[in-house]
């Protein structure tokens, strides 16, 4: 018998793979097919399985619901929005960071002080959102960052690395080291993002953690590029 359910909480291919594996381990389940774009799971079973039993097999971040028209409207949610609408929180945050950096450097706008404060606030704010879900962030980050995929623990310490870099910029501590680390760390991540976009994979961007479910788009490359360019300009201007 085939039954189709809505799955709430899936944001990337890793999520769909996890859901398929967990549901497939439930006794009485023959096979599971998961459609990430539709947020659906079709389960072939040999006996009647309670919804509560299926839910118990899934991690807390996922919710399985009976497929009814009423549920449909609940599950779709952000999927009905365009990428640019879903990226609005990112643009809003970057706007606030820019305004704050401007106000902190009113006398010399867009100078070295502005760039240092922008980079420092960028790291602090972005690391804050990552730390809201320290368990879920590594899973999403490993989906595209080359180092996180191959070095155990890198994704776990990454939010703390961003916090440290943010404090270094704001406190004007070891700026050359912070600039070089910015170029290396964000450069590697940007390469991973570019590969995902070229492969046309549909995954969640972890730049603001997992709390704000942002799609992986060119905007992610743009924000990283801004930081990398600022770092390069400051390194060249202060040999």
pLDDT digits (tens, 9 = 90+) for 94-110: 999 999 999 999 887 77
Are the beta carbons of 41 and 23 closer than 8 angstroms?
A: yes
Average pLDDT, the chain: 85
Tell me the pLDDT band of 69, cut-offs 50, 70 and 90: very low
DSSP assignment, residue 43? Answer: E
Does position 76 have pLDDT exceeding 80, yes or no? no
Mean pLDDT confidence for 1-30: 85
Q: Minimal CA–CA distance to 217: which of 191, 194, 237?
A: 194
The last residue of a domain, from among 37, 64, 79: 79
pLDDT value at residue 73? 40
Q: Could you identify the residue written with the tokens 């549909």?
A: 202
Q: Do 97 and 10 have their domain in common?
A: no
Are the beta carbons of 208 and 89 closer than 8 angstroms?
A: yes
Q: Do 60 and 122 have their domain in common?
A: no
Residues 6 or more apart whose Cβ sits within 8 Å of residue 174:
168
Rounded CA separation 210/223 (Å)? 18
Q: Do 86 and 161 have their domain in common?
A: yes
Q: Do 43 and 112 have their domain in common?
A: no
The last residue of a domain, from among 79, 110, 140: 79
152-168 burial: b if 16+ Cβ within 10 Å, else e: eebbeebbeebbebbeb
Domain that holds residue 196: 81-237
Q: Do 48 and 102 have their domain in common?
A: no
Does position 239 have pLDDT exceeding 90, yes or no? no
Does position 89 have pLDDT exceeding 60, yes or no? yes
Q: Do 25 and 86 have their domain in common?
A: no
Count of domains in the chain? 2
- What percent of the chain clears pLDDT 70, i.e. is strictly above it? 87
Helix ranges, 132-174 (H): 136-141, 146-150, 154-170
The last residue of a domain, from among 79, 109, 139: 79
Q: Do 153 and 208 have their domain in common?
A: yes
Q: Do 207 and 99 have their domain in common?
A: yes
Asked which of 3-12, 28-37, 153-162, 179-188 is least confident by mean pLDDT, the reply is 3-12
pTM: 0.69
Are the beta carbons of 75 and 6 closer than 8 angstroms?
A: yes
DSSP assignment, residue 21? Answer: H
Mean pLDDT confidence for 206-213: 70
């Amino acid at each position: 018998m085939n039954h189709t359910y809505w799955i709430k909480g899936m944001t990337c291919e890793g999520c769909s793979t996890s859901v398929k594996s967990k549901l497939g381990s439930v006794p009485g389940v023959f096979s599971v097919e998961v459609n990430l774009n539709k947020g659906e799971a079709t389960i072939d079973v040999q006996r009647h399985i309670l919804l509560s039993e299926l839910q118990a097999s899934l991690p807390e971040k996922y919710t399985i619901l009976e497929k009814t028209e009423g549920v449909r409207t609940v599950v779709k949610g952000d999927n009905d929005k365009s990428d640019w609408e879903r990226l609005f929180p990112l643009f809003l945050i970057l706007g606030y960071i820019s305004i704050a950096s401007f106000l902190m450097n009113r006398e010399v706008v867009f100078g070295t002080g502005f760039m240092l404060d922008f980079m420092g606030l960028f790291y602090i704010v972005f690391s804050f959102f990552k730390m809201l879900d320290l368990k879920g962030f590594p899973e999403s980050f490993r989906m595209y960052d080359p180092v996180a995929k191959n070095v155990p623990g890198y994704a776990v310490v990454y939010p703390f690395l961003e916090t440290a870099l943010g404090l270094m910029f704001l406190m004007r501590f070891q700026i050359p080291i912070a600039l070089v680390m910015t170029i290396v760390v964000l450069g590697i991540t940007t390469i991973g993002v570019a590969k995902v976009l070229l492969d046309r994979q549909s995954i969640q961007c972890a730049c603001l953690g997992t709390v704000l479910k942002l799609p992986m788009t060119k905007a992610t490359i743009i924000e990283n590029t801004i930081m990398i360019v600022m770092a390069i300009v400051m390194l060249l201007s202060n040999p």
